[in-house]
Amino acid sequence: MSRLALPLAPLAVAFAAGIALAPWIPPHAMWAVLAAALAASVLVLVLGQAVHALVPLLAAIAMLGALRATPAPLPPDHVGRLPLPITARVEARLAAEPIVWAPDRARLALDVERVDGVVRTGRILIGLYGPPPPLAEGQRLAIDARLERPLGFRDPGVFDAAARLAREGVHVTGSASAARVVPLEPPAPPWPARVRRFALAAFAERLPSASAGLLGGLVLSDRTTLAAEVQDAFRRAGIFHVLAVSGFNVALLAGAVWTLTRAAGGGRRTAAAGGIVAVLGFAAVVGPEPSVIRATIMAVLVLAAVLLDREASVTNSLALAALAILALRPGDLLDPGFQLSFAATAGIVIAPMPRGTLAASLAVSLAAQLAVLPVALVHFNQLSTVGLVANLAAVPLAGAATVLGLLAVVAAAVGEVAAAAVFGAVWPVLLLLRAVAALAAAVPGAVIRLPAPGPGAIVAYVTALTCGLAAWHWRARRGAGPALAALATLALLMAVALAALPILIRGDGRLRVTVLDVGQGDAIVVETPDGRAIVVDAGAGGPWRLDAGERAVAPFLWNRGVLALHATLTTHADIDHAGGMAALHRLFAVTERWDDAAPPRSVGGALLTPIAPDVPGGRRNDRAVMLRVELGLASVLLASDVEAAGERALLEAGVPLGATVLKVGHHGAATSSTAPFLAAVRPTVAIVSVGARNPYGHPDAGALARLAAVGARVYRTDRDGAVLVETDGRTLTVTRWRDGSVERVCLDPETIC
């Protein structure tokens, strides 16, 4: 048999590199480099030096990737060109099955046809509130919706949802009442959607809810009904990957079809053809996730090689899958699913595998975990310490449950007796799998949270793995093996040092106060001169809400090198201040929990004083706790949601309020920041923590005018993103995270700013 050995891996790497470099290269430079590289390649080939054409050819491929990743201007009729925000009637076609997160919460992906009767194009995402009507993929509908620009948290080290949507071609989002959805035609879902619905309904009908949700994740990567605590256990156990359909599932399906076909007397080519049909159908049902597309392309190539009587190259299959996905969707390069899928597969393919079932299983798990480690840290700040062992039990159980789950779908279509038998067999396997996840997750230190490594640390880590592999392959060579092993060790030490830098450089003698962008709410991180961290409020959270504590505050802290909290302070019980605090208490060790009775204390050289207004019987906002932070000549007053009555009570009590920086009370509401209060504070800098497009009209124009009247420079999280204040007690800098602009304030007349 001949071998399909065209070296595609360098081409895939070059194309991906071009996509990654696209934001920093002007389009005219891309075209110039492409033309020069192609000319150089042709010249070298004409001169008969084909071996030297590789470098210019790869440069040309990289520029093709960069050009493919460069966003094209939106067409004139694109919905993204509308003057947003607006409320409009949208006629569209459902691009995918509705995603139902709760009985009264759903999300629709719509391919727009008309907006207020005018022809428009583009895709939008609509959040529905209330029980949705029966809807199906491909169905036309009309909906009265509020259309807006996508927004995400704009904070250091925090996932930007708006940027991800832009990479996916979504420039408009919206919200609507489910009662405002009007189907324009009856639902007629395509066959993949019907199969998916049938399978999920069969799981829900014949299994308890937790097991049904788990089987839906294993077989179809549908986790919408899987309890959050179960998903968290799988994450902590380091086995969450079994809930994402990937090569594991596709290989099981292809292997099952191959085995059954051969057992029935079919030939190799018949089995391969059946496997291709099954894999393609399965991919259509599951959906176009990067891991599914990668696994499908690789499986089809391997099976096609059998049909053609060729030997397939797994490396080439992996590279071709990457090229195909990135050519169609270049934004997937930055998608965690894409990176995890390709990194894990590459690690397994490249790593040496020992003989013996147990040793090989350990090697596969170790190779995958070493390969995905930088990806897991960059996107999730997570290092699993038990995943290597947990996978030994979880992977076989997940495999058995997946095969039985696929059989259960077929059995449910055949009849009730067959379905009862197969579901009866799969349920104990699911219980065992959940038990493995729970036991592994309960191990102390099962997950270690660390800062995301920077580019230098990742390059050093990849160098260490590469040199380690080379040292193993060349171990018989007396000089090369030890030298490469030493280089691998040195690179690994460098990677660890660079990755740990945010932890090592904490406590540099400066006070830092960061007002995070958490939408309409408050979340403030105080970092004292000795590196300890205090969190004052943590944004919104709770059931069916986007938890700002988990999604914004925690990643910011981890990437700042904060692995434990000295203290937390919840100023009052409003959900937009207190909702995210439970997540922080779950994710971090907290030394102290402060309240309104906490005395003034010195922490690392900074003086922190909780201030509780005495307003008997007053509103909850007026009894919220303020916090005053002082270092040298600098002082910061965090005013929580205190309104006029609370401000008046503090003034009457003679509480010292003067501050260089004021975190404005109650998001800049008209009922806060009264003139007498501002006259007592005399802030040079005022920061308003407020959500964009909030329904309350915050910040109030009158409050902004009063701040301007006392000479305060006003910063707002809805416009500036996170606002970072840093001081050594004599000078103060304020940074707008959104654009990186920095302003300095001199507090000491003798200090040069």
> What is the model's pLDDT at position 664?
98
> What is the model's pLDDT at position 487?
94
pLDDT-above-70 percentage for the chain = 98
Quote the CA–CA distance of 591 and 415 in Å, as a whole number: 58
Quote the CA–CA distance of 86 and 82 in Å, as a whole number: 8
Nearest alpha carbon to residue 357 among 314, 400, 392, 385:
392
Judge whether residue 2 has pLDDT over 60: no
> Residue 43 is encoded by which pair of tokens?
């010249």
Quote the CA–CA distance of 183 and 168 in Å, as a whole number: 26
Quote the CA–CA distance of 459 and 455 in Å, as a whole number: 6
Give the start-to-end residue ranges of the domains of the chain. Answer: 9-69, 79-189, 192-449, 455-499, 505-746
State the average pLDDT over residues 620-642.
96
Judge whether residue 622 has pLDDT over 50: yes
Say which range, 197-201, 226-230, 451-455, has the weakest mean pLDDT: 226-230
- Half-sphere exposure of residue 529: CA atoms within 13 angstroms, side-chain side: 17
CB proximity list for 69: less than 8 A, separation 6 or greater: 18, 19, 22, 330, 331, 333
SS3 at position 482: helix
Say which range, 49-58, 551-560, 576-585, 735-744, has the weakest mean pLDDT: 49-58
**pLDDT tier at 752, thresholds 50, 70, 90:** confident
Q: What is the pLDDT of residues 501-559, one digit of tens each?
A: 999 999 999 999 999 999 999 999 999 999 999 999 999 987 667 899 999 999 999 99
Instruction: Name the residue type at position 479.
Output: G
> What is the model's pLDDT at position 111?
97
> What is the model's pLDDT at position 313?
81
Instruction: Name the residue type at position 413.
Output: A
Computed over every residue of the chain, the mean pLDDT equals 92
Quote the CA–CA distance of 382 and 400 in Å, as a whole number: 28
What CATH fold (topology level) applies to the domain 79-189?
OB fold (Dihydrolipoamide Acetyltransferase, E2P) (2.40.50)
State the average pLDDT over residues 255-270.
88
Determine whether domain 505-746 maps to CATH 3.30.460.20: no
Q: Which residues pair with 727 in a beta bridge?
A: 511, 732
- Report which of residues 716 and 252 the model is more confident about: 716
pTM of the model: 0.91
Instruction: Name the residue type at position 714.
Output: V
Q: Residue 56: how many CB atoms within 10 A of its CB? A: 20
Chain-centre distance for alpha carbon 87: 29
Judge whether residue 107 has pLDDT over 90: yes
> What is the model's pLDDT at position 753?
67
Say whether 505-746 and 79-189 share the same fold.
no
- Phi, psi (degrees; rounded to nearest 5) at 192: -60, -40
CA dist 610 to 227, 624, 638, Å? 38, 10, 9
Helices (H), 474-540: 480-499, 501-504
- Report which of residues 433 and 248 the model is more confident about: 433
Evaluate whether 591 touches 660 at the Cβ level (below 8 Å). no
> What is the model's pLDDT at position 382?
93
> What is the model's pLDDT at position 6?
53
CA torsion, points 222, 228, 231, 235, in degrees to nearest 10?
A: 140
Quote the CA–CA distance of 709 and 679 in Å, as a whole number: 10
Q: What is the pLDDT of residues 374-394, one digit of tens each?
A: 999 999 999 999 998 999 999
Judge whether residue 115 has pLDDT over 90: yes
Judge whether residue 5 has pLDDT over 50: no
Q: What is the pLDDT of residues 337-359, one digit of tens each?
A: 899 989 999 998 888 888 777 88
State the average pLDDT over residues 114-133.
94
* Crossing angle of helices 416-441 and 191-206, rounded to 10°: 80
> What is the model's pLDDT at position 75?
94
**pLDDT tier at 1, thresholds 50, 70, 90:** very low
Quote the CA–CA distance of 213 and 734 in Å, as a whole number: 47
